[in-house]
Structure 1
């Protein structure tokens, strides 16, 4: 009887010991889960937001990065500039790609919480104005452009008798496109009362301009600039790209890579990579890749201008 009681005591002791050890292990696991970040610079999953104009620039970066670091997954939502910035401000994402830096008012909540916001220039591109393939002249002065975008001039014939009849229709991918806000700030315009045909996408803008002789489309030039991209080549064949000039028509400039780089094309802009620096993670790894030599070579290939010129690899052969 006493032997059975001792066996029973030993059994209870083993159960208690096992339970305590399991609880300790669970606590350790919970602590480890809290200590280990959800992602690392080369592993994990993030969701970023990008202004749709910059899709041809950011998508090759994502695809190349994921190809190198197979444990990394980057989801991108392409949207308007305002929507991307709002998503960042509301904490829906920790990284955005937009055409302007955040202003002091937008940065103030982060400063109040002691959170560092990093705003890097990843590239330079430009606004391109596209016209119907049969448009008689593809050169516009900046003053003519101001008159059109401000609503002062509403018909093409008011600019030149050789231009087509009819009302000027301005087409953009979205009515609240960052392209329009950039033009507003750059040209000092009030665009609140301007009628914009919202084509929902850059492809929609191209299609609309292709089918309407009186239309002028506004797009980011990266959609046209990559000579190796089938879509870019196809778009370019369907429309005319307007050249811009100040006063002398002979000194017009097209939104080509060299003209953006040397500043001769007037409506160029920076592309900003904005992200939270609260901790190191996949977004900081992705940012380092984009701003590094390999990422900047990708930018160069797309036909826009990298923030810093990547190095060239030269092989010397000795005999």
Structure 2
């Protein structure tokens, strides 16, 4: 009898836990401001097709979204983390420590980080080393590291406009910020042999020296990239850093800069010739599939040919689709429920 009562009690606890988990009757995704417009468009289409509540999508930045995603399982935490960079090893470990252990990593497309300004101002043509010299808090000058002494862009790069160095960009919680540091600032610093050697011998020391951005020329403008666009329109000569989709949506007001002679376009981002190209991701809790109503269907909508495939409606919003083979591979990965391995870094 005790054994039967114990079994009944255990089943009751499991039922209550399942009901608590399933109490939220909508999909919840949080994270990257770059992925945000794509995820919200998918949410709108999903709701039209399936009825019921539309998924809740929050723009918290990649770091903020993954932190919330990894804080626990159940209805109080997101089903999906939207990310404009890969999950870090430290984030994966934080997830595991909170019991979030089976995570499906899905590539949804490509994006480019653009450096834009208002259309009535001169076009900027950057070299990577000029971005490092213009924006890093400390720079290499005559063989020594000194507080950034440059005030205008023509101080750091031949042919650049003589405008004051003033850039509105994402905060530290943003995956766009992380990617910009890696693809622009660090890549620019590595053009100097001394710094390239330092990175090879002491990557952490290299990052600590190069990554901090100057406070008198870089302004953390929050996670609302549309607000940065509006600031550029009102501030001639200023620059903004954000995802390619915001450039496409506002092409009548702003223009993109070239980097190493390549302008950001769908073609140059897809083929990797634009130096500030990257992959966009969504991370899904496998344990929530079949528990959160509509989660499987929402992810399938995101991965559908009609959404993230070539010619899909997300391409119209600025997403650069994966090649067909890779796109089909991500659909197969999700269908199989294949979970990610612990990241190397």
Residue 95 of structure 1 is matched in structure 2 by 80
Residue 292 of structure 1 is matched in structure 2 by 304
Secondary structure (helix, strand or coil) at the match of 1:58 reads: helix
Q: Structure 1's 161 and 300: CA in aligned 2 closer, same or farther, altered over 3 A?
A: closer
Q: Structure 1's 270 and 237: CA in aligned 2 closer, same or farther, altered over 3 A?
A: same
Larger radius of gyration: 1
Corresponding position: 1:257 with 2:266: yes
Q: Structure 1's 172 and 96: CA in aligned 2 closer, same or farther, altered over 3 A?
A: same
Corresponding position: 1:199 with 2:197: no
Q: Once the 2 structures are TM-superposed, how far is the Cα of residue 205 of structure 1 from its aligned partner?
A: 1.3
CA contact (8 A) 1:132 1:213 kept: yes
CA contact (8 A) 1:131 1:241 kept: yes
Q: How does 1:48-87 map to 2 (within 5 A)?
A: 48-87=29-68
Distance 2:22 2:126 in 1: 49
Q: How does 1:1-319 map to 2 (within 5 A)?
A: 44-91=25-72, 92-111=77-96, 113=99, 115-151=101-137, 152=139, 153-159=150-156, 163-174=160-171, 176-187=173-184, 188=186, 190-195=210-215, 196-200=218-222, 201-225=224-248, 232=249, 235-245=250-260, 252-281=261-290, 282-296=294-308, 297-309=312-324
Secondary structure (helix, strand or coil) at the match of 1:44 reads: coil
Secondary structure (helix, strand or coil) at the match of 1:286 reads: helix
Q: Once the 2 structures are TM-superposed, how far is the Cα of residue 169 of structure 1 from its aligned partner?
A: 0.6
Q: Structure 1's 160 and 268: CA in aligned 2 closer, same or farther, altered over 3 A?
A: closer
Secondary structure (helix, strand or coil) at the match of 1:100 reads: coil
Distance 1:277 1:177 in 2: 25
Deviation per residue, 1:128-153 (Å, 9 max, x gap): 11023233333212222222222444
> How does the TM-score come out when normalised to structure 1?
0.73
Secondary structure (helix, strand or coil) at the match of 1:84 reads: helix
Secondary structure (helix, strand or coil) at the match of 1:275 reads: strand
> How does the TM-score come out when normalised to structure 2?
0.68
Q: Once the 2 structures are TM-superposed, how far is the Cα of residue 194 of structure 1 from its aligned partner?
A: 1.7
Distance 1:180 1:202 in 2: 12
Unaligned runs of 5+ in 2: 1-10, 140-149, 187-206, 329-345
Distance 1:157 1:109 in 2: 44
Q: Once the 2 structures are TM-superposed, how far is the Cα of residue 182 of structure 1 from its aligned partner?
A: 0.9
CA contact (8 A) 1:209 1:217 kept: yes
Q: Once the 2 structures are TM-superposed, how far is the Cα of residue 278 of structure 1 from its aligned partner?
A: 1.4
CA contact (8 A) 1:275 1:283 kept: no
Answer with 89-98 or 278-287: which moved more.
Answer: 278-287
CA contact (8 A) 1:61 1:295 kept: yes
Distance 2:61 2:100 in 1: 28
Deviation per residue, 1:164-196 (Å, 9 max, x gap): 545301102446432221121224263324223
CA contact (8 A) 1:49 1:77 kept: yes
Distance 1:159 1:34 in 2: 60
Aligned length: 268
